[in-house]
Structure 1
Amino acid sequence: MKQFLDEHFLLETPTAQQLYHDFAKHMPVIDYHCHLPPDQIAGDINFGNLTQAWLYGDHYKWRAMRTNGINERFCTGDAKDEEKFAKWAETVPYTMRNPLYHWTHLELQRYFDVHNILNAQSAAGIYAACTEKLQSKEYSVRNLLHKMQVKVVCTTDDPVDSLEYHRQIKKEGIGIRVLPAFRPDKAMAVEDAATFNQYLGRLEAASGIAIVTYQQYLDALKQRHDYFASMECSVSDHGLERIYADDYTEQEIAAAFSKIRSGKALSVEEQSKFKSAMLTVFAQWDHEKGWVQQYHLGALRNNNSRMLRQLGPDTGWDSIGDFPQAVALAKFLNRLDANDQLAKTIIYNLNPSDNELMATMAGNFNDGSFPGKVQFGSAWWFLDQKDGMIKQLNALSNMGLLSRFVGMLTDSRSFLSYPRHEYFRRILCNLFGEEIEKGELPNDIKWVGSMVEQVCYHNAVRYFNWMSE
């Protein structure tokens, strides 16, 4: 019987173990999509305790605690941090076979050298030991990143963000590139006229452009897009239920903008056409600048209206959606490609039934101009676990080229989440190792090992062009 979480965790064959320990293990990390707060990196803060570092903002853990019958007071409420941690520790044994169980113990081992199982009995000792370590300079947020060999962090930023903390980080030269990503979701959110107009007020302030007409709206957004580029941004990101690719005219979009700017609600058809136009405009700007564009598709957000009113968004009330994806996605990508305006593109799905759809869609627009120009992105959110990663890797292998994949990201708000890269790398090496030992792949460790290194690190370095090899 194997020991839990030993050095060969998830590595079921000697070949898998060789591939991981000789090739994958020591590769640096390019985290090309995450939600880390840049102000905390700029301030190089130390967390006050383990709860602050581990539970604040972590809706994965909150969902598990709620499911375990833990009162909201211990998730997002006013309970003391030590009490919240105790309730999380009480929940951990019940998370077996949920990825949280693996993540929790990997993070305790990799960051804190804690090899005990977390439960109600061990909670107090683990909390005290880890909290004490978090007070030292060695455990500041920058050093947590260094500890995991993180070379690039790409945050997620709204067009109205000042990027002041990115400027501060760059000026200091911390040994890690912390870059912004342009995420204009709120600039397309025309479902509610009042909220949209409030956002336009913020856009006016950020751009210095008065926004009355549709053209002025575009001018303001373009000014922000240009500003992000001046701050070394070269990535955009969109979080959408589905791609919008309606046919439209400029006159229709200008009229819709005037309507909503006057405070009137848009019809469902007007909303869809407006979003279609804006996605196209943003993609054209991305292509002009040579950016990489990312599309996260398929989340059904804010399902619990009572808890949304109480706690706000991003607090754990989202799920997988079953939106139709293929027709609009093909139309959108083709609209850009037909005019030679398709930038490097990564598409992610949240519904696993769309794996093969996304993998084959990427292949439709790989034109030989760059290896893996259009990527089927890594397993995301609810699929960011062993089964989800294996299915994504298999779909990509069967329908495309795994060897050109840009690999894993964290998509996390936590500085303690980087063992997810290790988790992915172990799974990747195990897939290759198993097939080599079955005779399904040649026992060419040098070549397969180089492929592993490419997927773990080098492909992303070349794809994003953020640093030299």
Structure 2
Amino acid sequence: MKQFMDENFLLETVTAQELFHNHAAKMPIIDYHCHLIPEMVANDHRFRSITELWLGGDHYKWRAMRTNGVDERYCTGEDTDDWEKFEKWAETVPYTFRNPLYHWSHLELKTAFGITKQLSPKTAREIYDECNEKLQQPEFSARGLMRHYHVECVCTTDDPIDDLRYHKQTRESGFEIRMIPAWRPDRAMNIEKTDFADYVGKLAEVSGVEICRFVDMMEALQKRHDFFSDNGCRLSDHGVEEFYDDPYTDSQIDIIFEKALRGQQLSAVEIRQYKHAFLKMCAEMDHAADWTQQYHYGAIRDNNTLMFNKLGADTGFDSIGEFNTARAMSHFLNELNLEGKLTRTILYCLNPCANEVIATMLGNFQDGSCPSKIQFGSGWWFNDQLDGMTRQMNALSVLGLLSRFVGMLTDSRSFLSYPRHEYFRRLLCNLLGNDVEKGLLPNDKETLARMVEDISYYNARNYFKF
């Protein structure tokens, strides 16, 4: 019987073990999409407890706790203390067998704190106290944890109206790890939201542009786009339920925009027309600035209107929805491509039934300007686990070039999420190692080593031009 989570965890062959320990494990981390709070990095935040570090803002753990029958007060409540929340999480962990949380949690305990005990009600107090004691040491601050995990660069997720003060503060402090902003203009895109007009007012204030028409808003966004570029931004990101290709005219978009500012209800077609126009103009900005654009699509958010601010509830499309989205995606990318304005693009899907659609779509728009200009993003949200990441890599292998893949990201708010890169690298090495052992790939150590190091680190560094 193999020991749980030993040094060869997930590495089933000698080839896989050699690839991971001698190559993948040594590569720095470029976390090109995360949700870290920039203020915590700028001020080198010290965590009061393992609960704040581990459970604060972690919707994955909250969802598991709720599913296990834990009352909300132990997830996000303010009338319970850190130990009470941690104790409820420890009660939940043994019920997460075969859920990725079980692997992630124990990798985090092991790699950050050197704790190899399994978390359960029996070990909860011991682990809680040991973690809290270590958190008092300077190396367990926000920056210390980033150094511990050999992080080279992180890209946060930032609204266009953000003043980026904490990015500037971090840069001027001399901190050796780069923290780069990434442009996420979803609030300007989501015209159907009740706070849209208020957001436009805030955008007008920070940009110094009076916004009355759609063209005014895009002028304001261009100014903020330039500001982000001046502060090191090289990536944009969009969270979309689907892609949009509904035809529109400039006059139609003006009417739609003005209706939204007056608080009038919009039709589904009007919303789609606006989002199509908005995303197209954002894509043109990204191309002009030589940025990489990212699209996270397929998440139907805010399903539980009572809990959505805390929960992050999501679901995916059915097969018909995926077909329609694929067609719209093709039209949208082709529209940009025909105008010579399609920049480097990463596509992420929430529903794994679209893996082959995405992997096939990539080849339609590769133009030879750089290796794998259009990328299939790593398994996202509920797919960034053993099965989801393996399925994504298999689809990309069959229909594209896995060797040119830009690899893993945390998509996380937590400073303990970097072991997800290790998890991914172990799976990658195991995938290749198994193929070698089966005779499906030659035992070309030099080529395999280069491939593993590229996917773990070098491809991302070159692709994003860091």
Q: Deviations over 1:381-402 (max 9, x none)?
A: 0101000011000000000000
C-alpha contact 1:34 1:155 (8 A) present in aligned 2: yes
Superposed, which structure 2 residues align to 1:242-281 within 5 Å? 242-281=242-281
SS of equivalent residue, structure 1 residue 421: helix
* Corresponding residue number in structure 2 for 1:420: 420
8 Å CA contact 2:301–2:312 kept in 1: the answer is: no
**Equivalence map 1:121-270=2 (5 Å):** 121-192=122-193, 194-270=194-270
RMSD of the TM alignment (CA)? 0.9
Q: 1: distance between equivalents of 2:258 and 2:62?
A: 41
Aligned to 1:117: 118
Q: 1:252: how far off?
A: 1.0
Q: Deviations over 1:49-72 (max 9, x none)?
A: 000000010010001111111111
Deviation at residue 319 of structure 1 after TM alignment: 2.4
For residues 123 and 109 of structure 2, what CA distance do their matches in structure 1 show? 12
1:103 correspondence with 2:99: no
The 1-side partners of 2:210 and 2:138 are apart by: 46
Offset from partner CA, 1:293-350 (integer Å, 9 cap, x none):
0000101112122333xxx2x5242223333321100000000000110000000000
Q: Does 1:443 align with 2:443?
A: yes
> In the alignment, is the contact (CA less than 8 A) between 1:320 and 1:382 conserved in 2?
no
Counterpart amino acid of 2:313? W
Task: Give the stretch that moved more between structures: 436-445 or 250-259.
Answer: 250-259
Residues 46 and 141 of structure 1 are in contact (CA less than 8 Å); yes or no, is this contact kept in structure 2? yes
Q: CA deviation at 1:465?
A: 0.8
Letter in 2 for 1:402: L
- Cα offset, 1:269, TM superposition: 1.2
SS at match of 2:345: strand
Output the CA distance in 1 between the equivalents of 2:317 and 2:276: 20
- Kindly indicate whether the alpha-carbon contact (under 8 Å) linking 1:182 and 1:235 is maintained by their aligned counterparts in 2: yes
Residue by residue, what CA displacement relative to the aligned partner does 1:239-283 show, whole Å, maximum 9, x if unpaired?
Answer: 011111211111111121122222222221111101000000000
Paired position in structure 1 for 2:301 = 301
3-state SS, counterpart of residue 152 of structure 1 = strand
Q: Which residue in 2 is equivalent to 1:358? A: 358
Contact 2:152 2:177 in 1 (8 A): yes
Deviations 1:142-198 (A, max 9, x none): 010010010000000001111000010111121111000000000011113x41101
Question: Quick one: distance in 2 between partners of 1:134 and 1:202?
Answer: 38
Alignment partner, residue 73 of structure 1: 73
Any unmatched runs of 5+ in structure 2? none
CA–CA separation in structure 2 for the residues paired with 1:55 and 1:299: 23
Deviation (angstroms), 1:141 = 0.3
Instruction: Measure, in 2, the Cα distance between the counterparts of 1:48 and 1:439.
Output: 52
Q: Which amino acid aligns with 1:455?
A: I
In the alignment, the residues of structure 1 paired with residue 340 and residue 349 of structure 2 have an alpha-carbon distance, to the nearest angstrom, of 25
Q: Is the 8 A contact 1:42 1:165 kept in 2?
A: yes
Residue 63 of structure 1 contacts residue 316 of structure 1 at CA under 8 Å; is this kept in 2? no
**Residue ranges of structure 1 left out of the alignment (5+ in a row):** none
Is 1:315 the counterpart of 2:316? The answer is no
Q: Hey, what's the Cα distance between the residues in 2 that align with 1:122 and 1:345?
A: 46
Q: Are the equivalent residues in 1 in contact too, given 2:192–2:260 (CA < 8 A)?
A: no
Separation in 2, partners of 1:4, 1:254: 60
SS at 1:320's partner residue? Answer: coil
Alignment correspondent of 2:32: 32
Counterpart of 1:87, as a letter, is K
Which SS does the other structure have where 2:139 is aligned?
A: helix
Letter in 2 for 1:199: Y
Which residue is 2:345 aligned to? 345
Number of the residue aligned with 2:91: 90
- Alignment partners' CA distance in 2, 1:215 and 1:67: 46
2:140 is aligned with what amino acid?
Y
Q: SS of the residue aligned with 2:237?
A: strand
Secondary structure of residue in 1 paired with 2:45: coil
Counterpart of 2:414 in structure 1: which amino acid? S
Superimposed CA distance per residue, residues 59-96 of structure 1 (whole angstroms, 9 cap, x where no aligned partner): 10001111111111100112111000000001101101
User: Which residue identity lines up with residue 278 of structure 2 in the other structure?
Assistant: M
Residues 246 and 269, structure 2, Cα contact 8 Å, conserved in 1:
no
Conserved? CA contact 1:59–1:316, under 8 Å: yes
Mapped contact 1:68–1:91 kept (Cα < 8 A): yes
2:334 is matched by which residue type in structure 1?
Answer: N
2:11–2:427 Cα contact (<8 Å) kept? yes
Q: Does 1:62 align with 2:82?
A: no
State the secondary structure of the residue aligned to 1:319: coil
Mapped contact 2:410–2:417 kept (Cα < 8 A) = yes
Give the aligned residue type for 1:130. Answer: C
Instruction: Using structure 1 for the length normalisation, give the TM-score.
Output: 0.97
| 1:34, distance to aligned residue in structure 2 (A) | 0.4
- Mapped contact 2:348–2:376 kept (Cα < 8 A): yes
Tell me if the contact between 1:301 and 1:319 (Cα under 8 Å) persists in the aligned partners. Answer: yes
Deviates more, 1:208-217 or 1:330-339: 208-217
Between the aligned partners of 1:170 and 1:17, the Cα distance in structure 2 is 37
Q: Match for 2:315: what amino acid?
A: S
Q: What pairs up with 1:323-402 in 2 under 5 angstroms?
A: 323-324=321-322, 325-402=325-402
SS in 2 for 1:332: helix
SS of match in other structure, 2:192? coil
Could you say what secondary structure the match of 1:57 adopts?
Answer: coil
Structure 1 stretch displaced more, 280-289 or 218-227: 218-227
Question: Which amino acid in the other structure matches residue 220 of structure 2?
Answer: A
Task: Look up the equivalent residue of 2:316 and give its one-letter code.
Answer: I
Post-superposition shift, 1:450? Answer: 0.7
- Aligned partner of residue 306 in structure 1, secondary structure: coil
Cα distance in 1 for residues equivalent to 2:201 and 2:231: 23
Aligned-residue offset at 1:208: 1.6
